[in-house]
Structure 1
Amino acid sequence: MQKILILTFILISSISFSQTDSLRVLFLGNSYTSVNNLPIIVEELANYSNRNVHTELHTPGGHTLEQHSINESSLLKIRKGDWDFVVLQEQSQIPTIDFHKENSMYPAARRLNDSIKKYNPCAKTLFYMTWGRRFGGQQCDDSGVYCSPDFVDFTHMQDSLESAYWGITQELNALVAPVGIAWKKVINENETILHAVDNSHPNYSGTYLAACVFHSMMWNIYSFENSFIGNLDEEMAQLLQSTADSIVFHSYNNWNLHISQVNSDFSFEVFNDFVQFNNLSECIQPMIYHWDFDDGEYSSEENPSHNYQNNQTYEVKLISQYCENIDTAIYDVFIDVNTDVERLIPDESIFLSPNPFQNQLNIQFNNAVNYQIDLINDLGNIIHSIDGKQEKLIHFPTEKLSNGIYFVRITNQETKRISTCKILKSKI
């Protein structure tokens, strides 16, 4: 069996996210997104790489995902549709406080993701992993009732944020932009200050680093040597660009960048002129399937079966598609109708093979109906029974039977029609 993967000019590469040079991105967050105008920097990085990003945002100060999930302005923007990415940024302390993570952040994230998928079936939910406070410390809600651990430093708090974002993105099969992890690398390795004077919000360098992470993820391209450097000097800009690239691409699968990739594949079983196909394609659901059986017949079923008319090799194609992501698998299927096939009478839609048989007896049903199948010895005793349960192809194990004459009795459970065939087990 030979498998060939085909990518034509209309197909994207296996790790590409967009067929066009234009993206539409909605940012839902708070001041961590709006300070230094993160969306505009994302747009500028795209412009300088000959691409275009149209961004919209709704970022009320201090807003949580729970508040966004009931905020009519946020929901209207989601319902507007036609987004390629919807970026969700939680309030910076919520993920580190277990009570609010479980009872506010995660439920709200689920609701928002459901809404995104409802109104934008091909949009990618992208969580914006933020960063810890510059000096750590204990984080409490306004009531002071629910608090985080007393973080000893930035890294300690950052580890807690990573865990929280990782958990929800794995559950929802969503993407996560590892901005906080990029911050941690720059701070720990270069002692660069990315926080503003409040030790919480980003300074321009911090926002620029975040924008580079988004740029690398959204386009699946490197940010390094992008000529847009804002108000940074070239050395600092290249440090932040290269850090973003190293974080995004070194641990590619950690951010779920692979989830919308399509890997088209299938297996099949041949029973004379009848073939049962088993779809093995991998991607997030739902996918669209197009089967070409190479005899002028097609199917959009997930796991189709097909009858061929001639003995020859057929080049069967399966095209699997998720939104703009497409992959094609091709296998050669050889049809050689055996002469030892027994057509059961009076029900001509049932076939039995081989006869004589050895270690396995195959029964094919062209019509998906519930059947009771009895194997009977020459004394009239039922020695094995199977409920067909609308299966089209059944492998009847016979390796423990002694050689001799047997009968197969098949009862249509709906019409009560009975078909019987004499068969022979032989070692030859």
Structure 2
Amino acid sequence: MKHIFTGLILTIAAASVIGQTTKKVLFIGNSYISTNNLPGIISSMAVADGNSLSFDSNTPGGSTLSQHAVSTTTLNKIDANAWDFVVLQEQSQRPSFPDGQVQVDVYPYAEILVDSIYSNNSCSVPLFYATWGRQNGDQQWEGINTFEKMNTRLFNAYTYMTDQANGMLSPVGIGFAHVKQDENAVVNFNDLYVADGSHPSMKGSYLAACVFNNLIFNTFSSGNGFSPTGLTSNEVSYLQQVADHVVYTNDSVRVDFRPLSENTFTVNTTGAEITCSPSIVNGAFESWDFGDGQQSTQQNATHIYSTTGTYEISMTTSTVCYSDTVKEQVVITTLGTTEYDQSIFTVYPNPSKDGSISVELPVDENYSVYSVGGKEVYKGRAGKLELPEGVYFMYFRNEIRKVIVL
């Protein structure tokens, strides 16, 4: 079951962007953000998609969260705007250090900054920047002396902080790992770094920007028209695809730890009929989308499909700050059940192109026709009907037919 997150005023699915979206983002960290002007790259990507990024930052080289937690500059910047997102990035090594040290030197200060963020605006989202392991790891400790070891510890620490903050995670380090593991990578893993084996090259920063672009604007980076200086079109396309994979299709990576991400639902299928039952842990139920053009605002909903196939069912829930959509697929392999024998009650043509409908019943009894909104538009036993364009449900005894007029 996948979650498609929708932030604040953005309520469309991740695959489509309609009109201009403006997001306000504050970046708090150090040189991993300022190198290559990461916020500027994200802004350029936003413009290429017809969006807008309004941002500010405080990123002195080598800064730690403990320093930011007592920095007047940082705290004033947090209070200066009703930010949609506040990006938090710790010094590049600290989250990978031994657990006892991280619990003392990192986690308490992340909590202080998160409290400041929520105190300023309860709808701001703390967005943790999960950075990458160094190219050859950190040799000062055996537990992080390879890229893989260091990267794993960084990811786990940032995931913990994100979970505690009910925030979101930008798993850029997982993107670096994907490139390293990809035998067909268009971009060489070593080329994600500059000579120090720590800071990002333009390719590394662009990969990070693609991940952030996906999260901030609830979109896909593939196809974005902005190309940084020094990257070929093939490299741009590849890094965009890596970011999309990490955010949307890598099941081992969770990016959304906000409360609504805990909401789920189950689907029971009988023939062409489904029954959807939500489990709402936080927020409020909004609506169902059954994947065939039909929706419902009934919390425990029943729906009947008119054709076989694979459908994606979506459940949307919301709070005052944002909405979240959970999706799950259902496969309809048969349209008939023992209760709904197609030979008993026949409606044709369906769909109808001119509104003319023929109805054949086994006995001379009444049937009813309802609009998709639940209004009864006909009751009787006529063999022919003229219906305006729309979707209808015809009821006879215990049978239901969905009728479409084009």
Category of TM-score, reference length = shorter chain = 0.5 to 0.7
Pair 1:264–1:32, CA change in 2 (3 A): closer
Give the match for residue 282 of structure 1: 281
Contact 1:29–1:58 (8 Å) recurs in 2: yes
Pair 1:152–1:54, CA change in 2 (3 A): same
Contact 1:65–1:90 (8 Å) recurs in 2: yes
Q: Percent identity?
A: 36
Pair 1:63–1:246, CA change in 2 (3 A): same
| CA distance, structure 1, for counterparts of residue 14 and residue 228 of structure 2 | 29
Corresponding position: 1:184 with 2:177: yes
- Report the alpha carbon displacement of residue 97 of structure 1 after superposing the two structures with TM: 1.0
**Aligned residue type for 2:201:** N
Corresponding pairs, count: 268
Give the match for residue 215 of structure 2: 217
Corresponding position: 1:168 with 2:161: yes
Pair 1:169–1:326, CA change in 2 (3 A): closer
Give the match for residue 38 of structure 1: 38
- Report the alpha carbon displacement of residue 325 of structure 1 after superposing the two structures with TM: 3.0
**Aligned residue type for 1:157:** M
| CA distance, structure 2, for counterparts of residue 137 and residue 320 of structure 1 | 43
Pair 1:250–1:261, CA change in 2 (3 A): same
Pair 1:97–1:176, CA change in 2 (3 A): same
Other structure's SS at 2:192 match: coil
Pair 1:18–1:88, CA change in 2 (3 A): farther
TM norm structure 2: 0.60
Give the match for residue 239 of structure 1: 238
- Report the alpha carbon displacement of residue 154 of structure 1 after superposing the two structures with TM: 1.2
- Report the alpha carbon displacement of residue 264 of structure 1 after superposing the two structures with TM: 8.9
Corresponding position: 1:155 with 2:148: yes
Deviations 1:37-72 (A, max 9, x none): 000000000000111111111001100011101001
Contact 2:17–2:219 (8 Å) recurs in 1: no
Other structure's SS at 1:53 match: strand
Map 1:123-162 to 2 at 5 A. Answer: 123-139=124-140, 148-162=141-155
Contact 1:42–1:211 (8 Å) recurs in 2: yes
| CA distance, structure 2, for counterparts of residue 14 and residue 228 of structure 1 | 22
Give the match for residue 397 of structure 1: none
Contact 1:117–1:123 (8 Å) recurs in 2: yes
**Aligned residue type for 1:131:** W
Contact 1:11–1:326 (8 Å) recurs in 2: no
| CA distance, structure 1, for counterparts of residue 257 and residue 107 of structure 2 | 22
Structure 2: gaps (5+ residues): 1-8, 265-277, 287-316, 326-406
- Report the alpha carbon displacement of residue 219 of structure 1 after superposing the two structures with TM: 1.5
Structure 1: gaps (5+ residues): 1-9, 140-147, 266-278, 291-318, 328-428
**Aligned residue type for 1:100:** Q
Contact 1:110–1:172 (8 Å) recurs in 2: yes
Contact 2:86–2:127 (8 Å) recurs in 1: yes
Pair 1:262–1:108, CA change in 2 (3 A): closer
| CA distance, structure 1, for counterparts of residue 65 and residue 31 of structure 2 | 13
Q: CA RMSD in A?
A: 3.1
Deviations 1:381-401 (A, max 9, x none): xxxxxxxxxxxxxxxxxxxxx
| CA distance, structure 2, for counterparts of residue 30 and residue 166 of structure 1 | 19
Other structure's SS at 2:127 match: strand
**Aligned residue type for 2:174:** I
Contact 2:10–2:21 (8 Å) recurs in 1: no
TM norm structure 1: 0.57
Give the match for residue 101 of structure 2: 100
Pair 1:16–1:83, CA change in 2 (3 A): farther
| CA distance, structure 2, for counterparts of residue 227 and residue 100 of structure 1 | 43
Pair 1:229–1:17, CA change in 2 (3 A): closer
Map 1:228-377 to 2 at 5 A. Answer: 228-231=226-229, 232-251=231-250, 254-257=253-256, 259=258, 261=260, 281-283=280-282, 321-325=319-323
Does 148-157 or 89-98 show the bigger shift? 148-157
| CA distance, structure 2, for counterparts of residue 253 and residue 243 of structure 1 | 15
Contact 1:132–1:155 (8 Å) recurs in 2: yes
